[in-house]
Amino acid sequence: MESLLQVKNVEKVFGKGTNTFKALEDISFTIDHGEFVGIMGPSGAGKSTLLHVLATIDSPTKGDIYIEDENVAKMKGNQLVDFRRDHLGFIFQDYNLLDSLTVRENIVLPLAIAKLPVKEMDEKVESMAKAFGIAAILDKYPYQISGGQKQRTASCRALVSNPKLIFADEPTGALDSKSATDLLQALSSLNEEQETTIMIVTHDAFAASFCRRILFISDGHLFKEMNRGTHSRKAFYQMILEELAQLGGGGHDVI
């Protein structure tokens, strides 16, 4: 089967002339359909830059990024906007909810933009809200709910249109332990049951332990890959902690 995401010799350079900084250098890897992949590394390693480039939020200086047979690195303007809207989902640390809309209205937004029938939109929202345990708060506004509920709302919005690929940038960074666990378990269940493909950038070994595969990045280079295989999540967590310790910090302070 063709990989969902193919990253080929990607570089990202910031600045011009003598004041340049190469944030990413010769990055190549693939993500298959249904994978749950984590990106980890020290502060300044290039993790968020990599996510932004892959998610079409920024463009690479060099290289190709194929999502199925579409090279998004070469897309421009409305073509890129349409592709991002139709095929990609995003979960950010700061939720990005619209305060003037209810939880239900925030979740339904991508479907409304796509002009789906009302009945179909309602069914999709109800199903997604149930999966994330927020069906009871659909008619509340963001200011009326907790941080964990806001992030689960944002996750529902990202997933409700059934995108090909979900990008999550430190999605548990602003959450308490229980809220983070609830979110990660919901994402993991969707990955296992519906084969939703997810790529998550995180500094936290606990969050990364829910992934099936971890790519470690340092100084703009991918230098190691770790697969969970048949290991339990707890054992995988310890493996990640040991790798992070070699990078120079613990599981909660290597950013």
Domains and CATH numbers, the chain: 35-56+86-247 (3.40.50.300)
Q: Extract the tokens encoding 47.
A: 């993790």
Q: Extract the tokens encoding 3.
A: 């990989």
pLDDT score recorded for residue 1: 54
Q: List pLDDT tens digits, range 150-171.
A: 999 999 999 999 899 999 999 9
Angle, CA of 159, 164 and 170, to the nearest 5°: 55
Eight-class DSSP state of 34: T
Q: List pLDDT tens digits, range 20-45.
A: 999 999 999 999 999 999 999 888 88
246 or 144, which is more confident: 144
Query: CB under 8 Å to 179, separation ≥6 — which residues?
Result: 146, 147, 148, 149, 151, 172
In whole numbers, what is the pLDDT of the chain averaged over residues? Answer: 91
Percent of the chain residues past pLDDT 70, beyond the cut: 96
Q: Over 60: is that where the pLDDT of 83 sits?
A: yes
pLDDT score recorded for residue 89: 92
Report the pLDDT averaged over residues 190-194. 91
Q: List pLDDT tens digits, range 128-144.
A: 999 999 999 999 999 99
Is the Cα torsion angle 139, 143, 146, 150 positive or negative in sign?
positive
Q: List pLDDT tens digits, range 66-76.
A: 999 999 999 99
Eight-class DSSP state of 98: -
The span from the CA of 252 to the CA of 255, in Å, is 8
Q: Extract the tokens encoding 206.
A: 């606990």
pLDDT score recorded for residue 149: 95
pLDDT score recorded for residue 248: 67
Residue 64's φ and ψ, nearest 5 degrees, are -125, 145
Band of the pLDDT at 115, cuts 50, 70, 90? confident
pLDDT score recorded for residue 94: 84
DSSP states of 124-185: HHHHHHHHTT-GGGTTS-GGGS-HHHHHHHHHHHHHTT--SEEEEESTTTTS-HHHHHHHHH
- On whether the CB atoms of residues 65 and 7 are closer than 8 A, the answer is yes
Q: Over 70: is that where the pLDDT of 254 sits?
A: no
pLDDT score recorded for residue 206: 95
Q: Extract the tokens encoding 137.
A: 């708060």
The span from the CA of 202 to the CA of 111, in Å, is 28
Q: Is the pTM of this model over 0.85?
A: yes
Q: Quick one: 119 exposed, middle or buried, by C-beta within 10 A (0-12, 13-18, 19+)?
A: exposed
Q: Distance of CA 216 to CAs 77, 200, 202, Å? A: 32, 12, 11
